[in-house]
Structure 1
Amino acid sequence: MNMRLTQAPIDTLCANALRFLAIDAVEAARSGHPGMPMGMAEIAVALWTRHLKHDPTNPGWADRDRFVLSNGHGSMLLYALLHLSGYELPLDELERFRQLDSRTPGHPEVGHTPGVETTTGPLGQGLTNAVGMALAEKLLAAEFNRPGHPIVDHRTWVFLGDGCLMEGVSHEAASFAGVQRLSKLICFWDDNRISIDGDVAGWFADDTAARFRAYGWNVIEAVDGHDVEAVDRAIREAQANADNDIGPTLICCRTTIGRGSPGRAGSADVHGAPLGAEEIAATRAALGWPHARFEIPDEIRSAFDARARGAEQRAQWQARFEAYAQGFPEAAEEFRRRMAGELPVGFGILSNAILRGVAKEAATVASRKASQQAIGRLARALPELLGGSADLTHSNLTDWPACGAVRADQPGRHINWGVREFGMAAALNGIALHGGFIPFGATFLVFSDYARNAIRMSALMKQRVAYVMTHDSIGLGEDGPTHQPVEHIPSLRLIPGLDLWRPCDAVETQAAWNAAVMRRDGPTLLALSRQNLPHQQREADQVQAIARGGYVLAEAPPDAGGPALVIIATGSEVALAMAAHDTLAAEGVAVHVVSMPCTSVFDRQDAAYRQRVLPPGVPRLVIEAAQPHGWWRYLAGGRGDVVGIDRFGESAPAAALLERFGFTPQAVVERARALLATTGTGA
């Protein structure tokens, strides 16, 4: 039974409520991280009960503040805050922490728990997501706000720990945030000096305050993280910094991990393990907490409950937005559309018309150049298209006419990310999560390794992000094996939910871009060539079939009774397949050529379509200038072969490399003849 509390200040009681919800949930699960929630409880009370702008009854309200728990292992702190604030997260879900099908997974997951803004756990990426969110807020405000009508005006708050700051991606993100002067980004550093291995003094001795000042941040030092009033004063100072647009703010909060635990506070023992019944009893006694497991008094619930306050804040914003809509109806409707993630009315028809126009142009260009042209076409129709490159703009070809560069004092649509591939990718996730933009970012395909975990997070969170990865094979030439991707394409195809397109010409490149912007349930990666690729002639139905991921580009003669061989190829190797087709056809061998720019999209097609494209029982030869193992599943009962690369490349002109590695028409024809001889088919 709940009881009224009078023996301690309400802020102290609220902080202890957060502590014991975390303690009890971790103990019930026999798994989890109680130390951080216990250490950051007062910081959470100061922010969530006094400053955070949010409406628990409408978690998707466009102008809410964004809160990111970058140190996501402390997820029970966030779940406790969401529950007590009034989100649709009942107490029994906290009791089921880390259990199958609960809404309280081990690390916060966006789309799974109401009020969670991003999936965190891989340290440093939450902070970097928040940088993307803050950038999105700033750019949307510049685009949509009008004098007297600030419809975009919110802050991005981040909790982060020592682990986030040790991860290299935090350097990339913080440096970028400083140079872009993302003043509405406010971060709280949980300076408890403990990580899993113990006291961090032996491996983390940075002068963090000096480091962030060097990035261009405002730094508020020596804040007692267990004093709600001290934290409140720091927040007000940070808000003043934001109002004066003088850069992001880091609030350095000195804390004790596991505060309140007599036997474990201040040690690594409390970081990632339950306290146990004996230590929990001792902690209850030490903090004067007389309540049963998961019991929260009404007085504390009232102090946290943000429903009335949030509804009032949202109503005030709604009134401002309605006044805005009266004065600027077109802009208001555009804002609604973009925040809903919807494409313009008629975009599907327009995108098909664009694709048909590219097919008529019949251009022979590198697919990276075709991508630049596609971006320019789509950018005219999609003002939400926002992107750039990790310091390779003129190699990746990601700018377009009149795009405008994003600078601290200048809005634009093209972002120079600097040499920050990981930071770029993780920030793109934040932009997508914020809403209002379709973001894309580019680098060389070989450097996808730097960005890979953030690409994985795009897929895990099902975010509409496009990755433009150029120089996709040994065909890039003289830069050599350090820059020639071999294993990258098949390894990226292994990421569930990522659609990887490797187009063979300008038409397929436009189709891939159309698919990327129209897809709403996950990311897309375009693997693009440095070298020119010849245009492939198609009928209208073949142009439309590109969207199905794989299709028959060249058919065996109608009187052949079906193909004796199917050649499957992607990207630059489709031209080899077509050349081999012509040679073999002259020899009387009936060959289908299948262009398969996206295996995952093709795999989602119905069985009847897939069998029409890949007739059962017919030998198959696959050609791709990459590690070949992923292709064996497409071969008909072992009746097939793969022309691929199972070693690193060399430094030489592209033509010499392609000949060395067997990517010439004659070499492909010889492999085809050998396959046909082995299977007993052919002319």
Structure 2
Amino acid sequence: MATESTSSPSLTTHPELDARAVASARALAAHVVQAKGHGHGGTAMALAPLSHVLFSRVLRHAPAHPDWLGRDRFVLSAGHASLLLYTQLFFTGYGLTLDDLAKSRTLGSKTPGHPEVHHTVGVEMSTGPLGQGVASAVGMAMAARHESAVFTPASALLDHTTWVVAGDGCLQEGVSGEASSLAGTLGLDNLVLIWDDNGITIDSGTAETFSEDVRARYRAYGWRVLEIDTPDDLDAIETTLRTAVERTGRPTLVALRTVIGAPSVRFGGTSAAHAGGFGADELAAVKTTLGFAPNAPLHDLVAPETLEYTRGAVARGEQLYREWEADRAAWGACEPDAVARWRAFRGGEFSTTALDTVNVGSTGDQIATRKTNGAVLRALNGTAPLWGGSADLAGSTTVEVHGDRFSATNPGGEFIRFGIREHAMAAILNGIALQGPWRPFASTYLVFSDYMRPSIRLGALMGLGAVYVYTHDSVAVGEDGPTHQPVEQLASLRTVPGLDVVRPADSVEVVAAWRRILASPDHPVALILSRQDLPVLASTEVTPAGVTAGGYVRWQHGDGSDLAILATGSEVHLAIDAAAHLAHEGISARVVSMPCVEWFAGQTANYRESVLPAALRARVAVEAGRGDAWYRWVGLDGRVVSVEQFGESGSGPEVLRRRGIHLDAVITAAHATLATPAGDPTTPHGPPELVTN
């Protein structure tokens, strides 16, 4: 069985055809942007030699098998240069056409303005926000190294390389620095970062804003640094890239000096080359310099013999694919049990029976939901494809599982220490999820979700199954004060399309929520948990199904037809106390626990009606956070008990009461909504005052 899978045969080289392919790539970028009047051609032009060598000679990929597990991953972190990637996907046989390139950035095209995974064959990640691709590539490399260590520790069968192309802007963003620092610490030598060192950003030259020694910085991170000073020397590029994939115990930065917009005389090396067309005259001059007629149309920019030459990547990829399949077959013959485990992992086969062993306590027990969640993660460790860690808060958020940490010397480690790098942590989770089929999780305090927000948004956009475990979920954090007390974060997270925000009321709901989370690998989840102990509430046989439905009647007096009190998390027991108090007044109330409004909104109209009848207009929502969005559920006749100001330092119960989350406030809100004349056209309609102190 082969023990080395990182090398790759190159396309049989032909200097003249290589030169034509590079010239065509440059001309295509300039032509398409000028024809459309918008787009980003400068970087695609400058990196045409690099991308041609990478895709034709070095990258392990098989265009006829785009999902081949043994392929290298390529991430274009500088996503605005999407034409660079689309051109290579066209040249190497991924199904794109010249017409697709011409339609870039238009509605419904296969070539959107920035690359989008699951939309264009050959695109590994949705990129565009600068630095995200770098950080997620770190996650891809981590996941690949972990999978290899767990399933094929004596072989390089699964040890492919993750490549990422980044610009100056990517390396200025903090998220790339956070992730690169961790990559160096972890010794991810299956990661190669190619830095387009062109010295230009949108507004100016980088000397005005980016004067640091990037090479020295990456050496300080623990990276190996290689240089390419001749950006048009294809053989020199190939030699350097092949050196970059050697396993040395360190990730590699390849610093490539380029001239943005080359070979344009007027725009080359200037900020004006970043975006927009060069004008008809300059485009004609560029085409002439590249060996084309000055007025050559799009289809004349790629000669048939050039395309035939670059499409040799299909045969090259087929060779790589068949060799890898032979290695996999040999592995199967030698280690059938290991192969069976790997296939089950890749096929998403796992059991959730371990959840049955989690001690959820008895009614009335006091258990913080963060503690139950920790018990869930430890129970599932080794039985479900969960893998993750914490931003230096594992002891507090209780997410650490049994076993050793993932490290340079122990890539099979069960737990990741991300360090105090919240933004990179979220971006790395995206990379792990893209590599798949791990369900990555990461944990910190809810208030620090703000540090993670751009990566969370991107994960939701890509439909990735990351799980963000947030504890210390309200002003009940207490003594640490307002800097650590989340107020607006819950409401803010719920505005992210495709993100499921889950706030369980007790340990029973935590376990039930995990059953749905594990069954939904194409949705990111923000799991919101309490620091403080919460009472285990009385449950019925409908509780687990109600939780997975996102909302259900957790407690009811009589037929519950007078009033509905909606609540999440730590406020559900408060809602039940209020409803029980109102019952002594003869008020028939139902308490709706709504651990996930997104799940509830996705239920059938009949189910939602059974929980919240339209005729039941007297409604109160209570949650220890901003409350505006709850009017979707309580209506204009309802009331919302919420926290509308930052907190302060004091004990959790004191701060909750000071900010209006207490029994009297819920009862007062209930009386107010019950007193509202339902349907009276003379009653002013508009959101009532939020119930705060």
TM-score by length of 1: 0.94
The 5 A counterparts of 1:151-300 are: 151-240=157-246, 242=247, 245-290=248-293, 291-295=296-300, 296-300=302-306
Unaligned runs of 5+ in 2: 1-12, 680-693
One-letter identity of the residue aligned with 2:592: V
Q: Relative to 1, partners in 2 of residues 1:363 and 1:27: Cα closer, same or farther, differing over 3 Å?
A: farther
Answer yes or no: is 1:135 the counterpart of 2:136. Answer: no
Deviations 1:458-496 (A, max 9, x none): 100001100001111001101111111111101110000
C-alpha separation between the residues in 2 aligned to 1:289 and 1:358?
73
Supply the RMSD in Å over aligned alpha carbons: 1.9
Answer yes or no: is 1:125 the counterpart of 2:128. Answer: no
C-alpha separation between the residues in 2 aligned to 1:170 and 1:307?
33
Shift of 1:170: 1.1
The 5 A counterparts of 1:500-579 are: 500-558=501-559, 562-579=560-577
Q: Who is 1:3 aligned against?
A: none
TM-score by length of 2: 0.92
Shift of 1:680: 7.6
Q: Who is 1:109 aligned against?
A: 116
Q: Who is 1:41 aligned against?
A: 48
C-alpha separation between the residues in 2 aligned to 1:74 and 1:363?
57
C-alpha separation between the residues in 2 aligned to 1:541 and 1:500?
21
SS at match of 2:644: coil
Q: Relative to 1, partners in 2 of residues 1:549 and 1:413: Cα closer, same or farther, differing over 3 Å?
A: same
C-alpha separation between the residues in 2 aligned to 1:304 and 1:449?
45
One-letter identity of the residue aligned with 2:340: E
Q: Who is 2:383 aligned against?
A: 381
**1:24 equivalent among 31, 39, 50:** 31
C-alpha separation between the residues in 1 aligned to 2:345 and 2:46?
39
The 5 A counterparts of 1:28-107 are: 28-107=35-114
Shift of 1:385: 1.0
C-alpha separation between the residues in 2 aligned to 1:128 and 1:202?
25
One-letter identity of the residue aligned with 1:624: E
SS at match of 2:476: helix
One-letter identity of the residue aligned with 2:630: W
SS at match of 2:483: coil
- Which region of structure 1 is more displaced relative to structure 2, 647-656 or 672-681? 672-681
Is the contact between residue 637 and residue 678 of structure 2 (CA under 8 Å) also seen in structure 1?
A: no
Q: Who is 1:615 aligned against?
A: 613
C-alpha separation between the residues in 1 aligned to 2:159 and 2:594?
45
One-letter identity of the residue aligned with 2:96: L
One-letter identity of the residue aligned with 1:369: K
Deviations 1:164-200 (A, max 9, x none): 0100111101100000000011111101000100211
Deviations 1:133-171 (A, max 9, x none): 111111111111153x43212101111100001001111
Deviations 1:50-107 (A, max 9, x none): 1100011111111100001010000000000001100022222112111110010000
C-alpha separation between the residues in 2 aligned to 1:675 and 1:542?
27
C-alpha separation between the residues in 2 aligned to 1:545 and 1:321?
44
SS at match of 1:576: helix
Is the contact between residue 225 and residue 255 of structure 2 (CA under 8 Å) also seen in structure 1?
A: yes
Is the contact between residue 475 and residue 657 of structure 1 (CA under 8 Å) also seen in structure 2?
A: yes
Deviations 1:592-623 (A, max 9, x none): 00000000000000001001101113211000
Is the contact between residue 385 and residue 413 of structure 1 (CA under 8 Å) also seen in structure 2?
A: no
C-alpha separation between the residues in 2 aligned to 1:221 and 1:87?
30
Q: Relative to 1, partners in 2 of residues 1:359 and 1:395: Cα closer, same or farther, differing over 3 Å?
A: closer
Equivalences, count: 661
Q: Relative to 1, partners in 2 of residues 1:359 and 1:143: Cα closer, same or farther, differing over 3 Å?
A: same
Shift of 1:544: 1.9
Q: Who is 2:453 aligned against?
A: 452
- Which region of structure 1 is more displaced relative to structure 2, 207-216 or 667-676? 667-676
One-letter identity of the residue aligned with 1:186: V
SS at match of 1:612: helix
Q: Who is 2:634 aligned against?
A: 635
SS at match of 2:256: strand
Is the contact between residue 501 and residue 527 of structure 1 (CA under 8 Å) also seen in structure 2?
A: yes
**2:596 equivalent among 595, 598, 618:** 598
Q: Relative to 1, partners in 2 of residues 1:263 and 1:645: Cα closer, same or farther, differing over 3 Å?
A: same
- Which region of structure 1 is more displaced relative to structure 2, 263-272 or 85-94? 85-94
The 5 A counterparts of 1:642-653 are: 642-653=640-651
C-alpha separation between the residues in 2 aligned to 1:504 and 1:380?
27
Is the contact between residue 469 and residue 527 of structure 1 (CA under 8 Å) also seen in structure 2?
A: yes
Is the contact between residue 216 and residue 247 of structure 1 (CA under 8 Å) also seen in structure 2?
A: yes
C-alpha separation between the residues in 1 aligned to 2:228 and 2:315?
34
Q: Who is 1:655 aligned against?
A: 653
Q: Who is 2:3 aligned against?
A: none
C-alpha separation between the residues in 1 aligned to 2:422 and 2:509?
26
C-alpha separation between the residues in 2 aligned to 1:286 and 1:224?
19
C-alpha separation between the residues in 1 aligned to 2:365 and 2:45?
62
One-letter identity of the residue aligned with 1:55: A
C-alpha separation between the residues in 2 aligned to 1:655 and 1:301?
71
Shift of 1:671: 2.2
Q: Who is 2:623 aligned against?
A: 624
Shift of 1:434: 0.7
One-letter identity of the residue aligned with 1:629: D
Shift of 1:360: 6.4
Q: Relative to 1, partners in 2 of residues 1:533 and 1:294: Cα closer, same or farther, differing over 3 Å?
A: farther
Q: Who is 2:10 aligned against?
A: none
Shift of 1:27: 2.5
C-alpha separation between the residues in 1 aligned to 2:365 and 2:405?
28
* Identical counterparts, % of pairs: 43
SS at match of 2:432: helix
